[in-house]
Structure 1
Amino acid sequence: MRRFGLILFISLIIVSAAAAAASAAFSFYIGGQKVELATSLVVNGNILIPASVLQDYMAAEVETDLDPGKLTIIFPTHTIEMQTGSREVQVNGEEQIMDVAPQVKDGEIMIPLRFVVDLLGLRLSFDARQAILYITLSDELADWVAARAEGDTSSVQLPDFLDPEASQTLGNPVLKEIVFMGGPRSRVFIDIDGFAAYESFLLTNPDRMVIDLTGVEWDGPFPTQDVNDTIVRQIRSDRFDQRTIRIVFDLNRATDYEIHRWPNGGLEIEFNYQIGQIGYYRDEDQNPRIWFEANEQPMFSVQLLPSPMRLVMDFHSTTLIDGAKELQVGDPPLRTVRISQNTPSVTRMVLDLDGPMVPIEVEEINGRYEIILFEGTEEEYRAKLEQEAPKPVEPEILIPSDLEIDDSLPLAHRIIVVDAGHGGSDPGTIGYVLGVFEKDVVLPISLELGRLLEEQGAVVVYTRTDDRYVSYFDRVAVANMVNAEIFISVHANSYEGTAAKGIETLYNPLYLENFRLAQAVQSELVQSLNAVNRGVRPRTDLHVLNNVKMPAVLVEVGFLSHPEEEEMLIDPEYQKMIAEGLLNGV
């Protein structure tokens, strides 16, 4: 049985930049300048801004003609031609496809912000606490903006990828490989050595998902991959027309998906979690439980709604396999349980109630997930916990008061929590070839990292220093009790098959500080190890990252499923290199 921890009723609601934009309750900065945004628009989760913003804050030349709805945007490296109502766009004469089409609002042509940011290789980030949207300009583009403001661009040196003459000789990006990584979401990596425009869609009879890559070279077609996974049956690829490569995923059943761009090129596809049968019962302690079948626990958000009273649980990135259904329960205060596909990516479960109930914990038992319910409100449950809770451990016990630290050291007196993942009865992932336990790899790395941090003057608090089990709750409690400034959780990765390898860093996207820490750690670690850069990945479903009160990252230092990386990860010298890379990131 796996326990997934307390569900904080309200804190599961995800704040996004698009939601803030939709309510016009956000601030917008480009290159450190606050943008006076008269109007904005959100279409299918995409933020659209006036094209004039690019002229005013990014030194672009913008030519508009509202009557036919034509728009031309000229940067030093790119000429972009758009048409309102059309997702097709010309970039330096080459056709690409945008997620949404430009629109006219209040006499302005509104353009998709994400497309321009990705095209120019810039970084877009959102600080949810302050509702601030940032675009960070590259040094070269910032110099160009400054030079345009002064009226002299002759001294601006553009790198090759921004040099118009050099860019003409760089050629199209190359499709190198299609890698099935597996896992509960049947992840697939399309290895492309640069930015590629794409369009994706679902087809039926038979069920399949299609990705069309535009302006991409390859040496294909690749051989058909017979995957025979829970979701994906096989993967096929071929040239659709002169400019388009088509990749087809034959599916066992229709399901939605998400596509993520990797920082150095390439696309990663994640198909939905699959939800099957549901049921209800009371356990031996008379706790009401809702159970559901799934190939992995999905993230879900919760709302308790009045008039009529009902508990709504939205399971994100999920597909309901067997269609909508309703259970007649008749166990007060629960009357019925209804489940259906609310949107292509959200399965909604509704509990019709005669009195309040809230979910408090999730357990995995015999291959299914069980949500334990409390008969009462969240406030009543918190009061019950406080009444039953033992006296908390004082933080002073965890940090010696007589530590002597050289104040001149760079990390003097900074409190940092180092969290070695798993431990004791929880081995974590297991290596495919040597059978190495994740818990045995990450502990020496964590101890070495702590030693290096202490040499730099930091006060290091470990969640474990030996092979013992530590719950998610205790890891979070330790970090919060000592008022740590940084939380670093060390883990090793795994996927079905042996192809996936490299480093990735996970962070909670609700706070900008998490993103900055993740970027720094990922960059230094990849550089120290000369490893494959899998980038930083936002995650909102990890208990430790969701509940610590300081900047936090979870670092996947390599793949135990990859034979070479498994062998490297048990090498003490390589473990020291990992620790040094993590130190440099901090």
Structure 2
Amino acid sequence: MRARGEATLLFIAVLAFGFVLLIPASFTGIVYAGGLDVSPSENGEGPNVVNSPVRVVGIKFAQVDGRAQVIIGTTAICNYKTALLKQPDRLVIDIDNATIAMTKRDPIIVDDGLVRRIRMAQFSANVARIVIDLSLSAGYVIRAREGTSNGLIVSFNREIQDVSFQDISGRSAVTITGTGDLTPRVMTLKSPDRIVIDIPEATLLHEPFTIPVDHALIKQVRVSQNTKDVVRIVVDTKGDLGFDIVKQEDKPGRIVIDFGYLVKGVDIATHESKTRVVIKTTGHPGRSIRYLDDLKLLVIDIENSQLETSGTTKVVKDGVINQVEITQFRPRIVRVAIHLPYYLGHSEVDTGRPDEIALDIVRSPLLEKVIVVDPGHGGSDPGAIGPSGLQEKFVTLDIALRLARLLELAGAKVLLTRADDRFVSLPDRVALVNRNNADLFVSVHVNSFTDLYPSGAETFYFDNVPESKRLADLVQDGLVRESEVNNRKAKNRELYVLREARVPACLVEVAFISNFEEEMLLMRPDFRQKAAQGIYWGILSFFSGKPVPVVQLNMVQPNNIGFEGLREYN
């Protein structure tokens, strides 16, 4: 038989039918790189099977993609036998009809963790022996060298050098350190709860071992050589446990099973002007905080975290918080949901502890306050009319509805003198205030003048109630700051609704509808929203006893935005 054009002797029984040669399937111990060239002999007789002598001309060690490799160079293809022996661990390769042709035959010292050294010797006249001394028994494959070079490549499994459990700054992880591009297979199993990580084509460079773990949700980590080619890491847990598998690009031999942080619970403390919520964690996890207006819910999602205990609910009902729920929202996200009767704002607080997430939720000074909001004019009384035909009664109703919604969100009880396009007399407006023992009265109007040029906002008060001036000043400041119109100041004026109301009261002239530019502003929903917010901040500052910082509010749509007078402008 010819292999690579050379006559080669086969020590096997074959059957020949003409030019067809049948070779038994058991013929697997002889390596023929490049395939078999089967042809008649030159003298026309059956095929000559010749076994050419082989010389071993070189041996070297290399690390390729995390695998220890022993490369054996020969002068021809070769027949070999292998044996993986114990005490001491070693791989023996006998090459038949071969001689060692190397002048230097000293052992090659490796000590890479798996391969200790490589020895070579002429075992007998026809057998060259290569012995690879190992630190422990390991899986391997042997293949022929590719290309034009003859010989063998012995390739061992990738190595698992270490497995450790770490808790760094409150974040727990199992780290697997090995060689090459490790590709884990992960299973989550029940009864008992455990996470199984199998590393294929890998050898553990240790005896099986167990890592005891002091963790609320992890019992221990077990490491073993599950089969000759699979290293198995088992994380015994105390229930379901979320995790991420992280392969570090700059360290291809490292895999991190990241369990993240623990969320241990929530503490709540009620103060005069706020309620503080402190979330206890084991580190400094990332989080997102948002308020869901339609649910009156402040939501804190804590990332890369696991709840230490089962979900809990704390009932508070202190006038700021109704209750707090803490749940494992997703495998890696703990959610703290704070149910509120209203929402005025919150701020994160640095407690000086990196393992705490603290929020102060503002107690509303408007809670349970009765506030009468009066949209000026209405019904048969259109109020002032702008150059383009915009009627005051529709503008004031829209702004008043927006203002009422903001006040309600802050916990106030709001009474409207009208909630649609109807006429209400001045005495009836004032009667609503006095009959309900209101805490405050605000009447919403827009200004007008025979001249088209006057512009800006002004707020009127009457000094029969001492606090009315302070209210008017604060409302005027908030209105100008939010709407950015000309400041015409707060002014004392005896108007019926201000004189007859027995509570702090003001009448707001938002802008001049007679001024074409300001009429255009009044047609815009965003401007009307800003006007409502400005009045709202003034009222809030009045009850808090000090100016309140401006924060961004979402657009609040009136409950009845579809009234005809503004439909064409919205």
The structure whose residues are more often strand, as a share, is 2
The higher-RCO structure (CA 8 Å, 6+ apart) is 1
With the shorter chain as reference, the TM-score category is: 0.3 to 0.5
The structure whose residues are more often helix, as a share, is 1
> Greater CA radius of gyration, 1 or 2?
2
Normalising by structure 2, report the TM-score.
0.36
Normalising by structure 1, report the TM-score.
0.36
